[in-house]
Structure 1
Amino acid sequence: MRQIRAILLALSVLGLPLHSAQPSDWGCEVLLCAALDNPSWHGVESCHPPMERLITAMKRPGFSWPTCPEGGAGKPGYDQYADCRAGWQPVAGDQEYDHGPSGELSRCSRTVRICSGRTSRSAFSDRQEITRDGITREFSGRNSCEYREYVARPLRAQPYYFDIKGEQGGTRERHYFDLRH
């Protein structure tokens, strides 16, 4: 975050306020605004022009993301899915049950053990059920002591991110942001 503040200071020292910067500074404006956490760029009036310009430019054919080499970041990444809940692991999606295409890690899964020790419940047949809270349970007749649960992986409110090079060696700090108006 210090590096971002240093870039902001450098831009203001050079007489380049955020609202009237040259086109070559646009990438640094976008980086500075996107990296804001509290408040986000939405709450900083001077960030509206460069971010709205970006949103508009993204809709045009041949769009090229503005970069800021001085800020140690190139084009942003995009990760639409948030982390799974504790105890759950990301797994490939199933088009029938969630919002992502097969092969994409769009679901969360966990194994649930329902037996302890040598006690075994009567064997389940191969079947599937969906609970009221949207969890899909898959039972297998081969193992009567456990079943798998699946749920759609939550979507991020801020799916874009910049990995900004930190001052300490090669460490990078991830800053998530959104591009909603």
Structure 2
Amino acid sequence: MSANATPANVIAGILLAAVALPTPATASEWGCEVLLCASSSNPSWRGVPACHPPMNRLISAMKKPGFDWPICPEGGTREPGYQRYAECPEGYQVGSSRDRNGFAREGDLCVKTVNVCQDNTHGLYNFDRQRSCIQTVSMSRPLRSEPYFFDIKNDTSGQTERHWFELHK
């Protein structure tokens, strides 16, 4: 990529080249457009006008019964992964709340155990008092702004890179 080429220009060029080819449109072509657009990060696919048609088509198709994710065999990926929740802040671990029927929800909390008795300098607390100082605190686990991801292998480095994206119109 040249020093002046932005990710948006590269993606737009690839999309235009794919559309200009004299071969009939295939499902994998759409899948590759989706993959290229979804992996655009600066700007995101929303900032690349050529990405609006394939991504809007995807969002509409996802609402229909029997939806199958368009794939791009040339990109080495299948359908994307999805992680609703972001990581918990440092010092917290993933926990789960319970619904009104007593069933655990999927890792929707961040929890940690803390000593709420800040000043124990005299050592005068009995065992029961010390036990009551230890409490579990929790907070709602943050949601990801971009919950979908593709893991794409970088042919140059051999490393797999995760590209996060969202699908809101």
Q: Does 1:43 pair with 2:43?
A: no
Q: Does 1:86 pair with 2:90?
A: yes
* Residue 22 of structure 1, aligned match among 14, 21, 25: 25
Q: Deviations over 1:97-143 (max 9, x none)?
A: xxxx714111000111245578265777xxxxxxxxxxxxxxxx782
Map of 2:114 onto structure 1: 112
Q: Report the alpha carbon displacement of residue 37 of structure 1 after superposing the two structures with TM.
A: 0.7
Q: Distance in 1 between matches of 2:38 and 2:132?
A: 50
TM-score by length of 1: 0.72
Q: Distance in 1 between matches of 2:76 and 2:121?
A: 55
Map of 1:65 onto structure 2: 69
The one-letter code of the counterpart of 2:166 is D
Q: Report the alpha carbon displacement of residue 80 of structure 1 after superposing the two structures with TM.
A: 0.6
Q: Deviations over 1:65-115 (max 9, x none)?
A: 01112112111011110111111111123336xxxx714111000111245
Aligned length: 154
The one-letter code of the counterpart of 1:112 is V
Q: Distance in 2 between matches of 1:59 and 1:9?
A: 26
Q: Distance in 2 between matches of 1:56 and 1:12?
A: 20
Alignment of 1:91-106 (within 5 A): 91-95=95-99, 102-106=104-108
TM-score by length of 2: 0.76
Q: Report the alpha carbon displacement of residue 31 of structure 1 after superposing the two structures with TM.
A: 0.5
Map of 1:135 onto structure 2: none
Q: State the 4+ residue runs in structure 1 displaced beyond 3 angstroms.
A: 7-13, 114-118, 120-124
Q: Distance in 2 between matches of 1:49 and 1:142?
A: 62
Map of 2:147 onto structure 1: 159
Alignment check: 8 A CA contact 2:12 2:50 kept: no
Identical residues among aligned pairs (%): 45
Q: Deviations over 1:22-44 (max 9, x none)?
A: 23300010000000111100111
Map of 1:138 onto structure 2: none
Pairwise CA RMSD:
3.2
Q: Does 1:33 pair with 2:21?
A: no
Q: Distance in 2 between matches of 1:34 and 1:12?
A: 13
Q: Give the secondary-structure state (helix, strand or coil) at the position aligned to 1:144.
A: helix
Alignment check: 8 A CA contact 1:28 1:68 kept: yes
